[in-house]
């Protein structure tokens, strides 16, 4: 229902579904219907977690994919979803973007770091019940928002054990650390986990906890926009914004795409993200020779091994010297 003026009088008009569906520029950019997939209808997140709602997330390139809609739709219907893809494909980036678009507070936990269950649940900062501070997991359960568990396959067993009961959308947690207080999962508590399928050869990665796997209904596969011979102009455009001309931006991207291809084939230990390629461009834009700038950024980033560094150097030289 909207109010309009007609012949000087103020009247109410009921809009048809189509008329009310004017999309915001961001909805158009990411091809998503945020009115249909409203993740907190008639619910405002409490003041104390409002600052966790991201703002000003940099532009995200979807390539030929429709990741934003896939994720938001999965959260809307199932409350949780899993993102699978190599590191640097924008999983963390899109998690922030999704939170900004849908207005969710974001709680990011990197399971690969030495995170213990105490870091997640909370702790006393003095004597007495009033001196307890909720950790991110408890705060998320109580207030809602998006719990983002990065590299969930690296999760330590003590953390997994505490998380399992809250994976049910109507799950709850008993805070044994705090007199057995029972906290229920907010109706607006969404969960997203990420897995890196290519890290299996590295230490620390285990097959994902079966309880976790079973509860994830939707799995979104992530890939780099440009890989091998597939070059996505939008990626080159973002690289060019860092102060290099268009030709140089495409050269940088071609090197990146070839490295990504080799990483996915198991021939390189790392595939550069768009962020990594943009860092390389910043140094070239500052006047450094592309090969020297590459040495200081993606060559060193890929590996400490002289042999592997030589492989990367050859890719760079092939692309930059052939033009």
Residue numbers at the binding site for ligand ADP (CB under 6 A): 58, 60-61, 85, 87-93, 225, 273-275
Q: Which does 89 bind (CB under 5 to 8 A by kind): ligand ADP, Mg ion, none?
A: ligand ADP
Whichever of 154 and 319 has its CB closer to Mg ion, that residue is: 154
Contacts (Cβ under 8 Å, ≥6 apart) of 320? 251, 255, 290, 291
User: In what helix (H) or strand (E) does residue 3 lie, and over which residues does it extend?
Assistant: strand 2-6
Shortest Å, Cβ 89 to ligand ADP = 4
Whichever of 61 and 137 has its CB closer to ligand ADP, that residue is: 61
Whichever of 277 and 319 has its CB closer to ligand ADP, that residue is: 277
Whichever of 99 and 183 has its CB closer to ligand ADP, that residue is: 99
Q: Does 92 bind Mg ion (CB under 5 A)?
A: yes
Task: Indicate the burial class of 281 (C-beta count within 10 angstroms; 0-12, 13-18, 19 or more).
Answer: buried
Q: Whole-angstrom Cα distance, residue 224 to residue 129?
A: 48
Tokens of 224: 């780099």
Shortest Å, Cβ 144 to Mg ion = 22
Tokens of 103: 């207005």
Q: Whole-angstrom Cα distance, residue 301 to residue 106?
A: 28
Tokens of 24: 């915001």
Is residue 222 within 8 A of residue 189, CB to CB? The reply is no
Please provide the DSSP assignment of 122-144 as one string: EEESSSSGGGEEE-HHHHHHHH-
Whichever of 93 and 242 has its CB closer to ligand ADP, that residue is: 93
Q: Which residue is nearest to ligand ADP (CB)?
A: 275
Shortest Å, Cβ 137 to ligand ADP = 20
Shortest Å, Cβ 195 to ligand ADP = 10
Tokens of 246: 């268009």
Q: Which residue is nearest to Mg ion (CB)?
A: 92
Contacts (Cβ under 8 Å, ≥6 apart) of 1? 12, 13, 14, 15
Shortest Å, Cβ 196 to ligand ADP = 7
Neighbours of 282 (CB within 10 A): 15
Q: Whole-angstrom Cα distance, residue 122 to residue 142?
A: 13
Q: Which does 273 bind (CB under 5 to 8 A by kind): Mg ion, ligand ADP, none?
A: ligand ADP
Shortest Å, Cβ 219 to Mg ion = 16
Q: Which does 272 bind (CB under 5 to 8 A by kind): Mg ion, ligand ADP, none?
A: none
Shortest Å, Cβ 249 to ligand ADP = 14
Q: What is the DSSP letter of 150?
A: E
Q: Which does 298 bind (CB under 5 to 8 A by kind): ligand ADP, Mg ion, none?
A: none
Q: Which does 145 bind (CB under 5 to 8 A by kind): Mg ion, ligand ADP, none?
A: none
- Of the candidates 239, 249, 243, the residue with the CA atom closest to the CA atom of residue 319: 249
Q: Which does 88 bind (CB under 5 to 8 A by kind): ligand ADP, Mg ion, none?
A: ligand ADP
Q: Number of C-alpha atoms within 13 angstroms, CB side, residue 256?
A: 29
Q: Does 153 bind Mg ion (CB under 5 A)?
A: no
Whichever of 79 and 91 has its CB closer to ligand ADP, that residue is: 91
Q: Whole-angstrom Cα distance, residue 94 to residue 106?
A: 12
Q: Does 115 bind Mg ion (CB under 5 A)?
A: no
Whichever of 122 and 294 has its CB closer to ligand ADP, that residue is: 294
In the complex, the residues that contact Mg ion under the rule CB under 5 A are: 92
């Amino acid at each position: 229902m909207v109010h309009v003026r007609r012949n000087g009088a103020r009247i109410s008009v009921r809009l048809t579904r189509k008329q009310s569906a004017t999309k915001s520029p961001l909805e158009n950019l990411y091809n998503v219907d945020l009115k249909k997939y409203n993740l907190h209808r008639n619910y405002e997140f409490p003041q104390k977690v409002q600052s966790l709602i991201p703002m000003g997330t940099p532009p995200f390139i979807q390539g030929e994919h429709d990741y934003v809609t896939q994720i938001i739709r999965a959260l809307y219907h199932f409350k949780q979803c899993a993102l699978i893809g190599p590191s640097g494909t924008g999983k963390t980036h899109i998690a922030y973007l999704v939170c900004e678009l849908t207005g969710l507070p974001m709680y990011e936990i990197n399971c690969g770091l030495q995170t213990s269950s105490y870091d997640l649940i909370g702790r006393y900062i003095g004597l007495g019940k009033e001196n307890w501070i909720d950790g991110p997991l408890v705060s998320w359960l109580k207030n809602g928002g998006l719990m983002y568990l990065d590299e969930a396959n690296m999760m330590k067993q003590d953390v997994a054990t505490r998380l399992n009961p809250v994976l049910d959308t109507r799950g709850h947690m008993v805070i044994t650390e705090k007199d057995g207080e029972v906290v229920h999962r907010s109706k607006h508590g969404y969960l997203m986990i990420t897995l890196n399928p290519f890290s299996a050869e590295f230490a620390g990665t285990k097959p994902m906890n079966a309880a976790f796997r079973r509860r994830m209904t939707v799995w979104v596969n992530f890939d780099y926009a440009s890989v091998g011979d597939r070059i996505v102009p939008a990626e080159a455009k973002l690289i060019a914004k860092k102060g290099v001309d268009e030709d140089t931006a495409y050269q940088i991207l071609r090197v990146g795409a070839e490295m990504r291809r080799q990483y996915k084939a198991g021939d390189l230990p790392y595939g550069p993200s768009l962020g990594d390629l943009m860092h390389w461009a910043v140094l070239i834009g500052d006047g450094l020779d592309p090969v020297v700038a590459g040495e200081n950024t993606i060559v060193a980033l890929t590996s400490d091994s002289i042999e592997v560094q030589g492989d990367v150097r050859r890719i760079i030289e092939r692309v930059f010297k052939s033009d």
